[in-house]
Each structure stands twice: as C-alpha cells, then as structure tokens.
Structure 1
C-alpha cells in the first residue's frame, strides 16, 4: 500500500467570487461584539489534507473493513487483497531456496572431500619422495661397491686362471677364485635390481602428484558448484523477500488517522496496482484560506493569533494562527473606474491554521484579523 497526499480545494471559483463580495461588505464590521470593533473580518473555506490510499499490488479485494464517513486510526485495517497467488509464489520460492541450500551444502561437502584427498596425496608424495630418494641413493652406493668387488674378483680370477693353466696352483684354489667371481657378478646383478626398484619407487611420486592435480581440479569444480548454488540461493532469497513484502501489502491499512471520505472499490472487484481504494481526510489538520485585500495586509503578521467563527457553530469562537501570506496578489477585489479615478485593490491569499477536527472541509469560516 502507498499513499498520495493532496490538499482539498473546495469550489475555488466560488471562494474567489464570495471573497470579492465580502471583502468590502465585511471590512471594518464588528464580529462578536464591541471587543472586536477594531478588527476586520473576511470569509473563507475550510480545507484539509486528503490522502489517497492506494494498493501497491494487484488483486481481488476480498474484504472491506470500513465504510464511507467512518473514522479510522493510523494503522487500522481498511481492506484485504486476496493473498492466494502470492502464497503459491512463496511456496515455490521457498522450494527453490531449499534446493539451492541443499546444492550449496552438497558442493561444500565435495569441496571438503577434494581438499582432503589432495592433502592425502600430497603427503604421500612427500613421504615417497623422501624414502624413495634415500633408497635409491643406498642402492646406487651398493651397486658401486658390488661393481668394485666384481672388478677385483675378476682380476684375482684371471691371475689364478693363468697360474692354474700353468699348473702352478691347485684345483681347489682355482675353484675358490671362480666362485668368488660368480658371487661378485651376482651381487652386481642384485644391486642393479635394487637401483631399478628404487627408481620405480620414485615414479610412484608422480602418481601421487597426479592425484594432487586431480584433487585440485575437483576442488575448483566444487567451488564453481558452490558459487552457482550460492547465486541461486541469493536469487531465491531475494524473490522470497519480495513476495513476503507483497504479502504484507495485501492488508491495506490507514496511513494516518482521519475520516474515510471516499471508498472507491467494492468487495470482489479486482484492483490494479496503484489503484486508489480510499480517500482519507486527516483528522485535526485543517485550515482556512481567505482572500485579504492589500489595504488590510499591514495588520496581518505570520504566527498572529486570530478569531474564527462560523455558521456551523453559533456562539462559539475558535483560535487560529496565520501560517502563510502569499506574496503574490491573486485578483482585484475592487476595480478602479474612470469616473472615480482611483486604483485597483488586489487580494492576497492568507492561510489560517485551525487544526481542529470540529471543522470539516468545505465549511465557511469567518476570520477576524
């Protein structure tokens, strides 16, 4: 619901004509007895602030809580718009919000799992790199020693073999040299196998590093899923908030205290967005607009207290306050003629605040300055 304020202008043309007639007929006359013999009285019409109570949302009016002429308080329920469509929209928006929240939670779990897998693979790679490196170094050292031993055993065997051919060494010594050479060569082969195994162990580091890269890609994908789910969640949340705000607008309430001066809709009718459902006149905020001739303006000051009377309140006097004096003349209350040779007398608008709920818009009031 939103409201539009405006000032009531009651029969402005009639005011102008009435003021033109009354300015000189009433100027200087007594208003209420000898105590006001030095005052001048002018007529005017009472005005007040009107508020158009509009509906922000379209829909069918299912309830009217007030009638024309009824007095209402600020915040009082005036009408209700059918909320059925909005309630269905709210249900759908809530479902979208819940789905987005679940997707965000699932993506978050995927991100945590990918992060844990990446950390595990990295730790394994680090450990393997350290142990396999040490193993390879040891195997390479062992291979170097085995090769040195095999080279020495070969030299010894060659020397013994030469002597054995010459018959200079017994058969047993020859066999021992031959066995040592065979053993040394076998040790070299075993050391080479150890080096190959150590190199294979280092290759496992690459496997683990591939696992780290795979986990990193999974983390990026999960983060993208989280971002998409969060965007969907925020969108659904904003939509839900808008629907809830519109649901609040289905209850049309009085923006100010006052009187319902016009009801512009009936129950069952479909109101368009922005349509005026009611016209509400504020209680207690009213004033009199009077036309004062320039010859009397010198006696009128801003914030001056004045006496206000009216035919609607015989014998009663009200106190008003001058709150505005228009600096631009409106029309001539008296026209000069060639015969008289005098000047026009221009009228100026003077506003007198009443702020009294007893006065209704359109009433005629007499203001004594």
Structure 2
C-alpha cells in the first residue's frame, strides 16, 4: 500500500461520517416541520389579497414616436433641365434665399437676347410714329402729287384729241368717205384715252392722301398699334427673364440640407413633392429641413388625458440615460385606424437636446398628466367585470371573495385609481382561493379548479 492509498483511507471515513450526519439531520428537521403545528398568526388571505393604499401620484401616459423635421421640402427647378452647379452638401446649414443650385441657362439667355432686340425694334417704330416725318419726306410726297397732277393733265389732253378725231371721222363715215372699220379704231382710241384719265386721277387722289398723311404725321391708330407692339415685346422679354431667374434654385426658408439627390450634370424635373416635402424623389436636387419635433401616436383610450402645453419626457434609444424635455404642440383632430387599432397623432415640441437628437430617431415618450393627491389605487389585476359592471373582489364576513362595484380613474402603470367603491385599508383579491373560479364566485356557486388571477 502506497502513501496515497493510506491517506485516502484516513480521509474517507471521517468525510463519510460528516455526510451521513448531515443527511440524518436534514431528514429529522423535515419530519419536525411536518409535525409542527401551524402558526396561528399567519393570515390565510395574505397571499391572495393586497391592501388598498393611497398616495400622491402623477398621471403618466406612455407612448412611442419618431423625431422628424418641423418643416421639410424637396428642392427642384420650376422647369426641366440639366443641373449646372450645386453649391451645398448634405448637412450644410443654409439661410433663407441662399442659392442652392443653378440650372443650365444657355438657351434662355439666347432667347432673352432675341427678345431684347425685338423690343428695341418696336420702340423705334413707336418713336417714328410719335415724331412724324422729316421735311425731305414731305417734299418727296409733294413731288409725287405734282407728277400725278401732270399725268392727269397729259391724259386729259390725249382724251380731248381722241374725242376730236372721233367726231371728225364720224362725219366722214356718215358721208361715206371712210369705212366703218376705220371709225371703230378712232372710237377705241377715245375709250383708251378715257381709261388713262381715270387711272391718272385715281393716282392723283392716292398721292394727295399720302402727302396729307405725311404732313399730318402718323394716325392715332398707328401710334396705338406701335405702343401695343412695344408692350408685347416687353412682356415676352419679362417672361424669358422670369424663366431665367427660375434656373437659380434658392432655399425657401432657413434650415439644413438633410439629403442630396443630384449631382452637376444630372437631368432634373419639377416635382409635386417640392411643396410637401415628405418623400425623396430621384428628380429632386436636395431636401431642405428646418427644426425638429416628435410625432407620436397615442391610443384612443389615453387621448383624453393629452392637452396642449403638457410636459413630455423624451428618451431616445441612442441616449438611454438622458431624459429630454418636450411640450405638446398639437393633438390631431382626426383619428388614425390601422389593424383595428385607433390612435391619434400628437406633435411634441422638443425643448432640450436639439444638439444631439437627429431626424428619424425612435423615442419613448412619457406625457406627464394631472397630480392625484391621496389617490386610492389597486393593482390592475384586481379589477374584474361582472355583467358589464366594473369591480373588485373583497373578503366578505366569512373571508370569501365577494364582488364589489367600483368607479375607476386613470391607469398608472400596473395600478389603477379607484374613485368610488373602496377605501384605503380594505383588501382586494389578486388571486383566487384554491378550488374556486371567477365564474363560480360571481354566480355564487362552487366549482372545482385551481386558483388563478382575479383578472379574467
């Protein structure tokens, strides 16, 4: 036998004795506990009921929400085109009216130059109509009248000669000296001379009218038409200038660039979301946002306790150890119903933490409501319903559960305020005695079963 075996034998028996003694002692203690009489001071309802208490409480309503900008807009040009320059980056702070981007305006500048030239021509015509004609123009018109008058005199002389020949040859024809065909020629000559006189007289009348117009200057109608041409040219130029100004995209309000959607060279178009600003579009240039607020949804059952100006405690997932302050700024007048759940949107102004909170963060909210001095409260699990009546179970004279109707106030976490029906010091059941069910208690008949919570 080696030294290790000898030492093992010496250690085994003492340890065995200790273990056996411990086992026997435990068995003896257990038998003593079984035979020990019950403590008469232990209340058999202590584990099934709790006392009704009162305390100074503050109503608090929990909700969740999302941080979002107070105002946001997607910036886009008023007309389609290619983005020439972009002057901002995501996160940049901008002021109202600051230039954000510039569109390609080469074609509009060419149109503006043509419009300016058209305006200059219209203005020149108006000036000419308003100032009248020069002396040399009047002299030339007078000369045309004189030439026309001379043409009339010459034509009249030819007509007189033709008529004289016609009369002389008509007498000869009647005497049989000349043939009828020759007389016809003289008649044709007279008719032609008469037509020349008529044309010369008409030309004289027109030249006289032209001379008179030049002497008197332009007519009122001509001046009015020239003025209308000038106004039209100015309107066309103003339209093109407006389109040219619209190629410069400016910030409509002060804020920060929350998103950038385009780069120089991109083709962008007007978008309807430029006014609403709730969604990003591939045709926008950038998104501009201003300020932060919390958009929360409060269940219908709690909305009556939410008031304008109410204090709100805000906790963000990104900063779980910090509580930020807020204030209710708007309660939506219309409910939202999703998946059979009715709730109301509540907008909360952020009073602290703007330097660290970011748009899109998820937050938990606690709406701090009214203070309830010495409010009587019971656990929510103690509340039961009997045929439409709300109440609690209290011990009767025989210490058995008995239904008592109550009037409830707001729920405070796992407790609910009781406005009427019980008082501090009363006890209410939170669990049922063995062998009883809620139905058997409410119907006053016993049914076998295990004890369970009083809350159905």
TM (normalized to structure 1)? 0.53
Residue 55 of structure 1 aligns to a residue whose secondary structure is coil
> 1:109 matched to which residue of 2?
131
**Residue-pair matches, total:** 230
| 1:5-43 CA-partner distances (Å, limit 9, x unpaired) | xxxxxxxxxxxxxxxxxxxxxxxxxxxxxx996423211
> 1:278 matched to which residue of 2?
285
The structural deviation recorded for 1:361 is: 2.4
> 1:322 matched to which residue of 2?
328
The structural deviation recorded for 1:326 is: 3.1
Distance (Å, rounded) in 2 between the aligned partners of 1:240 and 1:37: 68
The structural deviation recorded for 1:221 is: 4.6
> 1:90 matched to which residue of 2?
112
Distance (Å, rounded) in 2 between the aligned partners of 1:328 and 1:57: 37
Q: How do 1:300-311 and structure 2 match up within 5 A?
A: 300-311=306-317
Contact residue 91 and residue 257 of structure 2 kept, 8 A = yes
The structural deviation recorded for 1:294 is: 3.3
> 2:164 matched to which residue of 1?
none
Distance (Å, rounded) in 1 between the aligned partners of 2:288 and 2:57: 33
Shift in CA distance, 250/332, structure 1 to aligned 2, threshold 3 Å: closer
> 1:139 matched to which residue of 2?
none
Distance (Å, rounded) in 2 between the aligned partners of 1:104 and 1:53: 43
The structural deviation recorded for 1:52 is: 1.4
For structure 2, the 5+ residue unaligned runs are 1-55, 140-206, 272-281, 368-456
The structural deviation recorded for 1:89 is: 1.2
Distance (Å, rounded) in 1 between the aligned partners of 2:250 and 2:62: 41
Contact residue 258 and residue 280 of structure 1 kept, 8 A = no
> 1:255 matched to which residue of 2?
252
| 1:65-92 CA-partner distances (Å, limit 9, x unpaired) | 1223433332222211122212111111
Shift in CA distance, 305/219, structure 1 to aligned 2, threshold 3 Å: farther
Distance (Å, rounded) in 2 between the aligned partners of 1:273 and 1:348: 34
> 1:68 matched to which residue of 2?
90
Shift in CA distance, 255/332, structure 1 to aligned 2, threshold 3 Å: closer
Residue 64 (structure 2) pairs with residue 43 (structure 1): yes
Larger relative contact order, structure 1 or 2 (CA cutoff 8 Å, min sep 6)? 1
Residue 241 (structure 2) pairs with residue 244 (structure 1): yes
More strand by share: 2
CA RMSD of aligned residues (A): 3.5
Shift in CA distance, 315/262, structure 1 to aligned 2, threshold 3 Å: same
Distance (Å, rounded) in 1 between the aligned partners of 2:231 and 2:286: 39
Shift in CA distance, 294/82, structure 1 to aligned 2, threshold 3 Å: closer
| 1:130-182 CA-partner distances (Å, limit 9, x unpaired) | xxxxxxxxxxxxxxxxxxxxxxxxxxxxxxxxxxxxxxxxxxxxxxxxxxxxx
Residue 362 (structure 2) pairs with residue 364 (structure 1): yes
Residue 261 of structure 1 aligns to a residue whose secondary structure is strand
Q: How do 1:176-255 and structure 2 match up within 5 A?
A: 215=212, 219=216, 221-255=218-252
Shift in CA distance, 93/227, structure 1 to aligned 2, threshold 3 Å: same
Distance (Å, rounded) in 2 between the aligned partners of 1:265 and 1:247: 20
Shift in CA distance, 218/302, structure 1 to aligned 2, threshold 3 Å: farther
Distance (Å, rounded) in 2 between the aligned partners of 1:281 and 1:60: 20
Contact residue 108 and residue 222 of structure 1 kept, 8 A = no
More helix by share: 1
Distance (Å, rounded) in 2 between the aligned partners of 1:310 and 1:69: 21
Distance (Å, rounded) in 2 between the aligned partners of 1:330 and 1:83: 46
TM (normalized to structure 2)? 0.44
Residue 371 (structure 2) pairs with residue 350 (structure 1): no
